[in-house]
Amino acid sequence: MNKRKVILITAGVAFVLWLAAVIRINITSEHQQIKVYEIGDVVSYGQNYYEGKYEIIDGYKAQVLSGNVYKYEDYLSLMDIPGQKGSHQKYVYDLEICFYNEDLDSERGINLISTYLASADDRLAINIDLLTQIYPQLGDSPTEFRIRPGTSMVMHIPFQMEYISALYVGDEEKFLKGNEFYLNVTQYPEKQLVRIPAAKNK
């Protein structure tokens, strides 16, 4: 058997083993389920999470109360935030969300670091600087907080487009007000989304 045949046989065996591994992973891995809620629906975190089961906060719930688009300066005034220096987008997409903790007595709590607001073409991220200004009591990590069992808290979460995305869509105001968005509450094993229809305050 010459060297070329050995190489071909080795490559063939390696491919078969790789294909078997891929098939096995696809069969045994968790299949993501998607559930879509509407504004006003109460979404239970349950046994769901973003990246790992260590994030599970069964007992917490979230309810989106409203979604509105504001000019950046108007939003600062609405939230009583001093003028901000530096570059920023022209608009803020504000979600008013009520978080509930029914009965989870744990060190774990809400973690919004992976939360985004997505449309069919793009997605918005939480503006950490604005969130810190709105809730200074949350310290340097305003996307992570706990709520005492049996209580709830209403928060305004400011989302903005990234610079490149804003250039891509052109008319930022038209894009934000004219499209429906989806808030991702959890990712696995059930991807829970809240549909936010086109903004009301046009």
pLDDT in tens, 18-69: 555 555 655 545 567 999 999 999 999 999 998 889 899 999 999 999 999 9
- Range in 63-67, 76-80, 195-199 with the lowest mean pLDDT: 195-199
Is the domain of 19 the same as that of 36?
Answer: no
pTM listed for this prediction: 0.80
Domain coverage including residue 13: 1-30
Is the domain of 71 the same as that of 129?
Answer: yes
The residue-averaged pLDDT of 75-85 equals 86
| The two structure tokens encoding residue 13 | 């065996």
The dihedrals phi and psi of 42, each to the nearest 5 degrees, come to: -95, 120
Is the domain of 124 the same as that of 71?
Answer: yes
Strand pairing report for 144-145 and 110-111: antiparallel
Is the domain of 101 the same as that of 161?
Answer: yes
Q: Which residue has the higher pLDDT, 104 or 6?
A: 104
Q: Which residue has the higher pLDDT, 13 or 66?
A: 66
Among 135, 50, 149, smallest CA distance to 106 is for: 149
pLDDT in tens, 116-162: 999 887 889 999 999 999 999 998 889 999 999 999 999 999 999 88
- Range in 71-80, 105-114, 124-133, 175-184 with the lowest mean pLDDT: 105-114
| The two structure tokens encoding residue 171 | 């008319």
